[in-house]
A and B are shown apart, each in its own frame.
Chain A
């Protein structure tokens, strides 16, 4: 089998480290890239080879780095340029292999309207909606689709430019308002109408395609626990997906991938409503952040499969006929303050203890002393756990979260523990509105923590907390200088004086 010989990893942080891990194990050399402030970052240090670049998002500079470092392939990771067709074209033009789908598949899936049209044609269910129109034109469609409906700005996205209408009498008024706002915010007041999916779950299907005509589904991931429209907990299998539903969703996801000539690892995202109907949301044309969940339950290494497919191999039997064992959960650990709107937090990571044990995996690229800035995504680490069943996986995750020590920057570790402790979570009764419905007022109780205060004083008395900290504000910098107050030195056990 031919694998790439040397791969440029056009990314940073945990995903760069994770890709390097598999490459090294497969005997594939890697070259990491880093910008100047990232020179000491773990991803730049563990790769074995690293090259400095001006930016993580400059296609030409990255291709030049790949050429200079003698790479024959480029892995984009996720984020940055991973879903940029111009980057794929630049990599190919440089005579290198892009580890991912062809640019043409990316282009279709990258456009909301083109993707919807392609999916409709392929028989993949999409959220029922209309073409753009006037309020009068949309009125009959609203009746047909059934209230409540969304009025959406064509130019909107990411949760912006959507208004909900529950009452037919209100449609015209809300339409005018939405159109005016869209014109003001996006410079385009065009509005279309879409069905509101009731109490939706976010379910996605991992797919994998090779260049030999095989496209397989590798099970679903339930990603309904979100904050600010971003996932924080993912699991597989979903408590809401029966074997029959899994089969239907998998078939739809495979059809979606085949419709655009997909190759490599990809994820088809669906909204699942309470009646078991599901609708295409979008396709992520790359390796997903939460891919460890799928690796846990399938036993597959998705990065390894990416390398094999990029090398022209057919998918191996264990991917073509996947078996799913047990249950896996992933928690995303962020530098953020869950009590203050999940605002990203900066700081210096002064102390770190990562959990371990059976069925526990940490994907991170952290070191003590590292400055956590606000320039990149505030995700610090991914903690994932596997066990025989869902209850055991939750229990294992709660214990692993308790064992995760990250001091010096505010994280969501406690918040994650409290999410897993909500009875509705244990019941599998989760929707994208879970946090609003169950933990809107977090922290629930004002945790007066006398024991923790006592522990703090204990540490203070024993001189802890000096890990790299600098005392300032003392008028006399030598005040309390220990050498000043030292008396004579004596050799231990002897009587002779050394001073």
Chain B
């Protein structure tokens, strides 16, 4: 489960995402979750197809400037403030990102798995090479939303290793 908190006119709202096979399930606060099949069509452009009504799509344009998100959806523009609850960069500590644009070849772990330092987590393919992504330290896998075949952008977050608490 990957979660973020956004602040809207002083109110904090938690949004959480989970990957279910080909679909992304996103819950906003206590509301009914959205279940989407997501296609990336540009660096900052996505098309979300509704799982319940596959003819229905939403085009999303989104960029982030520090902690401010600018989002254009169905004709309207939104500005959200991300609340940093885990570190100061907007990305969780222990977060692993893709070094260059690549394709996911293999996912060797799942959300919640305990992993050791240096354990291979993912295999990416780029420039006719395969790259192994290894755990920087021991911990628990979180924020994993990728599946084999997914394209990833340079800098895109792949997953998070939440460090095992020291005894």
Q: Could you tell me which A residues sit within 8 Å of B by CB distance?
A: 347-348, 350-351, 353, 401-403, 405-408, 410-411, 413-414, 417, 446-467, 469-474, 479-480, 482-492, 498
Contact = CB atoms under 8 A, between A and B. Distances in A.
Interface residues of B, number: 74
Interface in B60-79: 60-66, 69-79
Contacts of A413: 77
Interface of B: 2, 4, 6, 8-9, 13, 15-17, 24, 26, 28-29, 31, 34, 36, 38, 40, 43-44, 46, 48, 58, 60-66, 69-80, 82, 87-91, 93-99, 118, 120, 125, 128-136, 143, 145, 152-153, 155-157
Given A458-B38, A487-B120, A492-B128, A453 B136 contact: no
Contacts of A403: 75
A499 to B, nearest CB: 10
10 contacts: A351-B63, A414-B76, A451-B34, A458-B24, A459-B69, A466-B153, A467-B63, A472-B88, A488-B132, A492-B125
Contacts of A458: 17, 24, 26, 36, 38, 46, 48, 60, 62
Given A461-B157, A472-B66, A498 B89 contact: no
B17 A350 contact: no
Contacts, number: 215
A463 B152 contact: yes
Given A452-B80, A455-B46, A467-B64, 6 more contacts: A405-B77, A407-B61, A454-B26, A456-B71, A458-B60, A463-B157
Nearest to B129: A489
Contact of A474 (B74, B87, B120, B152): B87
Contact of B99 (A347, A410, A411, A483): A483
A348 B64 CA distance: 11
A471 B15 contact: no
A462 B42 CA distance: 11
Pairs of residues from A and B, 8 with the lowest C-beta to C-beta distance, nearest first: A463-B156, A465-B64, A402-B75, A487-B132, A473-B88, A459-B62, A407-B70, A482-B99
Given A450-B29, A461-B17, A417 B44 contact: no
Contact of B73 (A408, A452, A484): A452
A144 B91 CA distance: 72
Contact of B43 (A447, A467, A485, A488): A467
B87 to A, nearest CB: 7
Contacts of A491: 128-130
B60 A406 contact: no
Label chain B's interface by main secondary structure.
strand
A405 B72 contact: yes
A458 B78 CA distance: 14
B160 to A, nearest CB: 9
A413 B70 CA distance: 13
Contacts of A471: 66, 89-91
A460 B64 contact: yes
Given A351-B70, A474-B87, A482-B98, A410 B79 contact: yes
A353 B87 CA distance: 33
A361 B64 CA distance: 29
A85 to B, nearest CB: 42
B153 A492 contact: no
Contacts of A402: 74-76
A469 B82 CA distance: 14
A365 to B, nearest CB: 21
Given A348-B65, A463-B152, A451 B58 contact: yes
A49 B134 CA distance: 53
Contacts of B157: 461, 463
A467 B24 CA distance: 23
Contacts of A348: 65
Contact of A462 (B8, B15, B46, B65): B46
Given A458-B26, A486-B99, A489-B130, A406 B89 contact: no
Contacts of A414: 76-77
A474 B88 contact: yes
Given A464-B46, A485-B134, A449 B78 contact: yes
A354 to B, nearest CB: 13
Contacts of B65: 347-348, 350, 408, 465, 469
